[in-house]
Amino acid sequence: MTSIDKLVENTIRADVREIGSYHVPDATGYIKLDAMENPYELPEELRRELGARLADAALNRYPVPSYATLKGKICASLGVPGGYDVLLGNGSDELIAIMATAIAHQDRRAVVMAPVPAFVMFSRSAQFAGADFVGVPLKEDFSLDREAMLAAIAEHKPSLVFLAYPNNPTGNLFDAADIEAVIRALGDTGIAVVDEAYQPFARTSFMGRLPEFPNLVVMRTLSKLGLAGIRLGYLSGAAALLEQFEKVRPPYNVNVLTQVAAEFALDHIDVLDRQAEQLNAERTRLAAELGKLPGVEVFPSSANFISLRVPDAEKTCARLHSERVLIKNLSKMHKMLTNCIRVTISTPDENTQFLTALKASL
Ligand SMILES: *Cc1c(COP(=O)(O)O)cnc(C)c1O
């Protein structure tokens, strides 16, 4: 064995060595419908104005770690209840990692829980933080299995429970009463994180209900709304919780370019909201078209993607790939998702190209 292999073996954790890396395929020349990105850019004149603002950003200085202006705009324009503050992350991925790190006791078993299939970073972050991950299967129709969740909470006493609302990769909204039951069951032993990454498309939220539940954290991101490139996530919850998470947050985790771009985007949130409305209208159209295809099962979605089951996902993905359309094959994620694929809602033209290629694959 060469010495570098020895070095890796001697230094890197076995569980890290064993996992595959997060694979993002090169999308050059492809219609990219695999990552829930907004296909629309900001209008030309807004981009010019943003360019001028970015030119004035103080790149020689560290960001001011209080991020007061940006936080103020988020609280004012995104429905954060009065008296509640936000914690900012380099994407909500970082916020997930911060929370997992904060609860991963070193002297006893700490558990992170989520219904599965779920967003992969919930279990990854738990693992990297040194906590155990417990996945509780959804029901066959992808609804939350309330009885199973409550039983698992009683058995494993999770410190952190993630509930994506709407859920990724299934796209559906869990029943609000089921989520409430989970939050109540956790009481003062566990934190419930409602991950609202797709809130701009679902138009429903637990944010306004923070005052009802001291153990509730609501997390969101600007990524799916149209700013995936700037990497900004935020969460809100009780001040006492935010105070602890804040200690784990790297002090300058949000860079000044992101800060300027996010402040600018929030001043023009109406533009992004209109894009989300257009995407929702396309979601309705695409779901209806997909529903007409024999052998295709379309799952209800409140997000900017649709998950569906096809007769042969491998074959469909290969065909789409040859037509230069990238989608996600969910088959290997969970046995409930056998022959399921996930497609991001895009422009009418790209959606139609997807439909045509899909039909050809069936
Ligand atoms: C995309 C996604 C995120 C990650 O968002 P970033 O802010 O881009 O890191 C978080 N949660 C869910 C459920 C997602 O689908």
Domain membership of residue 50 (yes or no) is no
Instruction: List, for residues 217-255, the tens digit of each pLDDT value.
Output: 999 999 999 999 999 999 999 999 999 999 999 999 999
Claim to verify: residue 158 and residue 192 sit in the same structural domain? yes
Given a cut of 80, whether residue 82 has pLDDT beyond it is yes
Residue ending a domain, choose from 209, 233, 267: 267
Domain membership of residue 278 (yes or no) is yes
Tally the domains of the chain: 2
Q: What is the pLDDT of residue 359?
A: 95
Task: Give the Å distance between the CA of 249 and the centre of ligand 1.
Answer: 18
Given a cut of 70, whether residue 1 has pLDDT beyond it is no
Instruction: List, for residues 263-289, the tens digit of each pLDDT value.
Output: 999 999 999 999 999 999 999 999 999
Q: What is the pLDDT of residue 65?
A: 84
Q: Is the C-beta atom of 305 inside 6 A of ligand 1?
A: no
Q: Is the C-beta atom of 223 inside 6 A of ligand 1?
A: yes
Instruction: List, for residues 182-217, the tens digit of each pLDDT value.
Output: 999 999 999 999 999 999 999 999 999 999 999 999
Domain membership of residue 110 (yes or no) is yes
Claim to verify: residue 331 and residue 253 sit in the same structural domain? no
Q: What is the pLDDT of residue 32?
A: 96
Task: Give the Å distance between the CA of 360 and the centre of ligand 1.
Answer: 31
Residue ending a domain, choose from 202, 237, 267: 267
Domain membership of residue 172 (yes or no) is yes
Task: Give the Å distance between the CA of 17 and the centre of ligand 1.
Answer: 24
Given a cut of 80, whether residue 23 has pLDDT beyond it is no
3-state secondary structure of 107: coil
For range 142-148, the mean pLDDT:
98
Q: Is the C-beta atom of 232 inside 6 A of ligand 1?
A: no
Claim to verify: residue 22 and residue 158 sit in the same structural domain? no
Q: Whose CA is nearest to atom 11 of ligand 1?
A: 197
Claim to verify: residue 32 and residue 129 sit in the same structural domain? no
Claim to verify: residue 229 and residue 278 sit in the same structural domain? no
Task: Give the Å distance between the CA of 93 and the centre of ligand 1.
Answer: 6
Claim to verify: residue 188 and residue 65 sit in the same structural domain? yes
Q: Is the C-beta atom of 170 inside 6 A of ligand 1?
A: no
* Torsion angles phi and psi, residue 184, rounded to 5: -65, -40
Q: What is the pLDDT of residue 230?
A: 97
Tell me what percent of the residues of the chain surpass a pLDDT of 70: 99
Domain membership of residue 54 (yes or no) is no
Q: What is the pLDDT of residue 337?
A: 97
CB 64 within 8 A of CB 55: no
For range 61-67, the mean pLDDT:
92
Instruction: List, for residues 112-134, the tens digit of each pLDDT value.
Output: 999 999 999 999 999 999 999 99
Claim to verify: residue 195 and residue 226 sit in the same structural domain? yes
Claim to verify: residue 81 and residue 221 sit in the same structural domain? yes
At 21, the pLDDT band (50, 70, 90 cuts) reads: confident
Task: Give the Å distance between the CA of 48 and the centre of ligand 1.
Answer: 28
Q: What is the pLDDT of residue 20?
A: 80
Domain membership of residue 49 (yes or no) is no
Q: Whose CA is nearest to atom 14 of ligand 1?
A: 197
Domain membership of residue 52 (yes or no) is no
Domain membership of residue 99 (yes or no) is yes
Claim to verify: residue 22 and residue 99 sit in the same structural domain? no
Q: What is the pLDDT of residue 202?
A: 97
Cβ within 8 Å of residue 99, ≥6 positions away: 125, 160, 191, 193, 217, 245
Claim to verify: residue 219 and residue 287 sit in the same structural domain? no
Q: What is the pLDDT of residue 94?
A: 98
Q: Is the C-beta atom of 111 inside 6 A of ligand 1?
A: no
Instruction: Provide the CATH number for the domain around residue 156.
Output: 3.40.640.10
Claim to verify: residue 158 and residue 127 sit in the same structural domain? yes
Instruction: List, for residues 308-328, the tens digit of each pLDDT value.
Output: 999 999 999 999 999 999 999
Claim to verify: residue 311 and residue 169 sit in the same structural domain? no
- Integer-rounded Cα Rg, in Å, for the chain is 21
The CA-atom distances, in angstroms, between 106 and each of 98, 102, 210, 215 are 15, 11, 29, 22
Mutate to test the pocket of ligand 1, among 222, 223, 230 (most ligand atoms within 8 A of CB): 223
For range 16-27, the mean pLDDT:
81
For range 24-49, the mean pLDDT:
93
Instruction: List, for residues 323-333, the tens digit of each pLDDT value.
Output: 999 999 999 99
Residue ending a domain, choose from 236, 267, 298: 267
What residue spans of 162-312 are helical by DSSP H? 176-186, 199-202, 239-248, 256-267, 269-291
Tell me what percent of the residues of the chain surpass a pLDDT of 90: 95
Mean pLDDT of the chain: 96
Element (H or E) spanning 15, and its range? helix 14-18
Q: Is the C-beta atom of 233 inside 6 A of ligand 1?
A: yes
Domain residues for the domain of 203 are: 60-267
Could you give the CA distance from residue 267 to residue 257 in angstroms, rounded to a whole number?
Answer: 16
Instruction: Provide the CATH number for the domain around residue 307.
Output: 3.90.1150.10
